[in-house]
Amino acid sequence: MSLLELRNVTVSYPGPRGQPVHAVAGADLDVLAGRVTALVGESGCGKSSLGKAAVGLLAPSGGTVRFDGAPLGALGRGARPEAQRALQMVFQDPYSSLNPRRRVGAQVADGVLAGPDADTPDIDAKVGEVLERVGLPARIASQFPHEFSGGQRQRIAIARALAARPRCIVADEPISALDASAQASVAMLLADLVKETGMGLLFISHDLSIVRRIADDIAVMYLGKIAERGAPDDLWRAPLHPYSEGLIGAIPEADGAGRLPADLPGDVADPAEPPSGCRFHPRCPMAQRICATDQPVLRPFDPNRAAACHFAGDRAT
Ligand code: SF4
């Protein structure tokens, strides 16, 4: 069973003329225990809005979000803090997500005190243990966030989330603000923690080369909708959706591995004025007449793969 289950979720903002703009337009997503689910796509495709809806930071305007089988928006007064503890978020910018005026140890202790270890007789020892688990020495607990690099700060933010002993973490572009040298190590740390603890991880990123290294399942998002879902090896070997193929083809390493670069012209369209039919059709090198009029639905092709393209069946065979 999914730890985190999103069904037909819509997230809307008021548009420039007061009309609702759907940043997420009916998306399904599952995060399973002990697995890394990656949500990928270009900037502006709605993946951060979907991540915020997944942890309850944004109220969906439609659809349901369930955590551990219970609707997130309908949890009772007693259950909501427990869901907040068990479902943690790691943000993109570790410079703003940590309080610059509080010592590292105090911020990690907030997580300990919110979780099942709150009654531990030695909070400082628990804080040190969590810091060491994310690859930092326990002695940094007495220091302030500004004394650390971006990668170290993100490790501190992960320690704060981990200290509450969550069952699931949603990490929204957790490596995009980091130096290249820190990106892979922070991503690998998160993946290792999933294997160690059995928690679920939703890893939101536009960096497909790192996603391929850590994800068990990948959901490709385009303009508010899931375009394709599958295992990394399947997606790289034979993408069913032309958008997935374009994203993968744009990775320099993929060219080196023998794949021809795919053409992905233009930018993501304005969600205030989404194209008719398939939202990808103005950019799709394989578009046919039907694509401009009929919206494709996300169809399963085997238990682990699905794609929303009228011609995905031709590519699957
Ligand atoms: Fe391209 Fe048409 Fe498939 Fe959309 S439905 S991805 S436009 S071929």
Tokens 């007789």 locate to: 121
Q: Count Cβ atoms below 10 Å from residue 63 Cβ, excluding itself.
A: 16
Residue 173 · residue 92 · CB < 8 Å: yes
Residue nearest (by alpha carbon) to ligand 1 atom 8: 287
Tokens 């939703």 locate to: 202
Bridge partners of 173?
none
For residue 159, the 8-state DSSP code is H
Burial (Cβ within 10 Å: 0-12, 13-18, ≥19) of residue 125: exposed
Residue 89 · residue 172 · CB < 8 Å: yes
Q: Is 222 in the pocket of ligand 1 (CB under 6 A)?
A: no
- Taking the C-alpha atoms of residue 42 and residue 62, their distance in angstroms, rounded to an integer, is 23
Q: Collect all residues with Cβ–Cβ distance below 8 Å to 172 and sequence separation of at least 6.
A: 48, 51, 52, 89, 90, 91, 92, 204
Q: Which atom of ligand 1 is nearest to the CA of 279?
A: 4
Please tell me the predicted confidence (pLDDT) of residue 184: 93
Bridge partners of 36?
201
- Taking the C-alpha atoms of residue 195 and residue 32, their distance in angstroms, rounded to an integer, is 12
Q: Per-residue confidence at 250, pLDDT binned at 50, 70, 90?
A: confident
Q: Is 275 in the pocket of ligand 1 (CB under 6 A)?
A: no
Q: Which atom of ligand 1 is nearest to the CA of 288?
A: 2
Dihedral sign computed on CA atoms, order 151, 157, 161, 162:
positive
Q: Is 227 in the pocket of ligand 1 (CB under 6 A)?
A: no
Using alpha carbons, select from 109, 156, 120, 122 the residue that is nearest to residue 136.
156
Tokens of residue 218, six digits: 């990948």
Q: Collect all residues with Cβ–Cβ distance below 8 Å to 259 and sequence separation of at least 6.
A: 248, 249
Q: Collect all residues with Cβ–Cβ distance below 8 Å to 48 and sequence separation of at least 6.
A: 172, 173, 204
Q: Is 218 in the pocket of ligand 1 (CB under 6 A)?
A: no
Please tell me the predicted confidence (pLDDT) of residue 64: 95
Please tell me the predicted confidence (pLDDT) of residue 73: 67
Centroid of ligand 1 to alpha carbon of 282 (angstroms):
9
Q: What is the pLDDT of residues 266-295, one digit of tens each?
A: 777 888 889 999 999 999 999 999 999 999
- Taking the C-alpha atoms of residue 118 and residue 179, their distance in angstroms, rounded to an integer, is 34
Instruction: State the average pLDDT over residues 234-253.
Output: 89
Q: Is 278 in the pocket of ligand 1 (CB under 6 A)?
A: yes
Centroid of ligand 1 to alpha carbon of 289 (angstroms):
10
Please tell me the predicted confidence (pLDDT) of residue 44: 87
pTM score: 0.92
For residue 287, the 8-state DSSP code is -
Centroid of ligand 1 to alpha carbon of 299 (angstroms):
13
Total number of domains constituting the chain: 1
Instruction: State the average pLDDT over residues 160-164.
Output: 96
- Residue range(s) defining the domain that contains residue 105: 4-316
Mean pLDDT is lowest, of 18-27, 266-275, 283-292, 297-306, for: 266-275
Residue 127 · residue 59 · CB < 8 Å: no
Q: Per-residue confidence at 16, pLDDT binned at 50, 70, 90?
A: confident
Burial (Cβ within 10 Å: 0-12, 13-18, ≥19) of residue 285: exposed
- Taking the C-alpha atoms of residue 190 and residue 220, their distance in angstroms, rounded to an integer, is 20
Q: Is 264 in the pocket of ligand 1 (CB under 6 A)?
A: no
Residue 62 · residue 26 · CB < 8 Å: yes
Can you give the CATH number for the domain in which 36 is found?
3.40.50.300
Q: How high does pLDDT run on average in the chain? A: 90
Indicate the helix (H) or strand (E) that contains 234. helix 232-237
Q: Is 163 in the pocket of ligand 1 (CB under 6 A)?
A: no
Q: Is 246 in the pocket of ligand 1 (CB under 6 A)?
A: no
Centroid of ligand 1 to alpha carbon of 220 (angstroms):
14
Q: Is 91 in the pocket of ligand 1 (CB under 6 A)?
A: no
- Taking the C-alpha atoms of residue 173 and residue 239, their distance in angstroms, rounded to an integer, is 23
